[in-house]
Structure 1
């Protein structure tokens, strides 16, 4: 653990409700915060005042199987601190039970509790492109299919099982499962059996944990971005955040794309909501719905509803511009 970045927490166990920093004193863990939605979630929780432990496999000294060295968990922690929170980077492979135990033990030792657990573990996009999409389950290389289930399901279960005993010490435990799609959108088959299982499992995890956390006053919820303009997706299309619309020529549905900030703002608002258990416990939701409920917008001021756009235009045959859904 000698590569970790630790900024001391000066607001330990002293939550308050200042409107500009409603999560001050709250302790969060964002598992899988190297890039994309995970990084944005960590930064926005920090902007709301939280102390945020951020984990991932890519550090300044080591690159994960994703193969991107341009984003690291140390950088994420620094962004959390720069936003006004306290960022703490702990390199962790969440498929390694001992590393996860060590992470949880450290949070216990340093903070005594955990208030917010965000399970944003994935890192399997390279497998989708290489061997999954466009193939039947029996045509998918078994090793790749099982790896998808490890990355998208087993890692989530290991993290939840080991962190929940610490989470329920909070006076208002919040467990967030990040996935791709909601219970409504995922009633449609997600192109490949392994991917379908990996992205539906977090929805069921949130449902089940909602039952288990209810007696502790807790909330478990699954959240999904729409068509996410993550660093990997921008690279895939050969564009940047500044000229992302150039990719619409390659993929027309990219017109409804959103930045990672949109989901992050919605989840930060949910985390600060005193009525969140009654509103969200055991449910799944999307960035678009969170935007409507909490009146938050993307960086460009829009409020994209990607799942409604895809349902209406891709599956429903409706002719409508993406701007009608922003």
Structure 2
């Protein structure tokens, strides 16, 4: 159980981030969730989900959810979000860097075949993956690390993917995910002596709202629910010996085998 523990999950209006927030919440944690989509606000994407709704679901599961509207492309908004967590809760035990960018072609009307090669894509796709993804992970962790170092404990999880090591997932995406993994390895090296653990997490194919929207084109027979990813993070957060994983890439499937949690479906 994670009662008394405090987590921050970025990019948690929906999808994997929401699943991670719920996974922490069902174990009793206080979970701060960030996202751009607010109740009553304009949707950045044509998908359901808001930070307020996620926070309410965390609370309904037995945790305590707190919503923070934040665009992590803005460094000052990111710093303010972390300050709010520390000021209100007095500690930070789990940071999950999930927010990402570079997916705009799903929503801006660009036919997928028009961006079939990296040379056909606007440079903004690269910039978005690194600014809203890698840079946001770095800035959030820079803001959170002093609290964890002072505590002498903490878990940092960067949501990554096999795209970091594969060559068929797109140049910008693959390069950004590889950068995320190396970011974790280097952070773990510097944080090890302070009792803070950092890992990269590879989910499988997750049944997010975006994936389900395209379900007729995707084989979902070996897919995962977002909450399954959340249970992976919760298992790591509850492990008193989690430092043995620091600097490593871990997968949801591997963690399920190690910690014996299941996918609710």
TM-score by length of 1: 0.75
Please state how far the C-alpha of 1:112 moved relative to its aligned partner.
2.0
Greater RCO (Cα-Cα under 8 Å, separation 6 or more): 2
Change (3 A) 1:37 1:229: same
Give the match for residue 257 of structure 2.
Answer: 292
Whole-angstrom CA distance in 2 between matches of 1:190 and 1:113: 40
Give the match for residue 35 of structure 1.
Answer: 14
Please state how far the C-alpha of 1:123 moved relative to its aligned partner.
4.6
User: Does the aligned pair in 1 maintain the 2:23–2:229 contact within 8 Å?
Assistant: no
Give the match for residue 150 of structure 2.
Answer: 169
Q: Does 1:265 align with 2:231?
A: yes
Please state how far the C-alpha of 1:132 moved relative to its aligned partner.
7.3
Please state how far the C-alpha of 1:100 moved relative to its aligned partner.
1.5
Whole-angstrom CA distance in 2 between matches of 1:285 and 1:111: 28
Change (3 A) 1:285 1:63: farther
Please state how far the C-alpha of 1:81 moved relative to its aligned partner.
0.6
User: Does the aligned pair in 2 maintain the 1:42–1:80 contact within 8 Å?
Assistant: yes
Please state how far the C-alpha of 1:26 moved relative to its aligned partner.
0.8
Whole-angstrom CA distance in 2 between matches of 1:132 and 1:207: 33
Give the match for residue 274 of structure 1.
Answer: 240
Whole-angstrom CA distance in 1 between matches of 2:42 and 2:189: 38
From 78, 82, 85, the counterpart of 2:60: 82
SS at match of 2:140: helix
Q: Does 1:126 align with 2:104?
A: yes
Report the aligned-residue RMSD: 1.9
Larger radius of gyration: 1
Please state how far the C-alpha of 1:193 moved relative to its aligned partner.
1.2
Q: Which runs of 5+ in 1 are unaligned?
A: 1-21, 238-246, 301-326
Total equivalences in the alignment: 262
Q: Residues 79-158 of structure 1 correspond to what in structure 2 (within 5 A)?
A: 79-127=57-105, 130=110, 135-158=116-139
Whole-angstrom CA distance in 1 between matches of 2:264 and 2:149: 34
Whole-angstrom CA distance in 2 between matches of 1:190 and 1:166: 39
Please state how far the C-alpha of 1:128 moved relative to its aligned partner.
6.0
Change (3 A) 1:143 1:131: farther
Please state how far the C-alpha of 1:131 moved relative to its aligned partner.
7.3
SS at match of 1:223: strand
Spell out, residue by residue over 1:170-218, the C-alpha distance to the aligned partner (whole angstroms, 9 max, x if none).
Answer: 342100001222xxx7432143211111222221121111111101111
Change (3 A) 1:142 1:186: closer
Change (3 A) 1:193 1:123: closer
Whole-angstrom CA distance in 2 between matches of 1:72 and 1:262: 20
SS at match of 1:40: helix
SS at match of 1:256: coil
Change (3 A) 1:47 1:191: closer
Spell out, residue by residue over 1:2-47, the C-alpha distance to the aligned partner (whole angstroms, 9 max, x if none).
Answer: xxxxxxxxxxxxxxxxxxxx21111110111111111111111111
Please state how far the C-alpha of 1:126 moved relative to its aligned partner.
3.5
User: Does the aligned pair in 2 maintain the 1:117–1:167 contact within 8 Å?
Assistant: no
SS at match of 1:282: coil
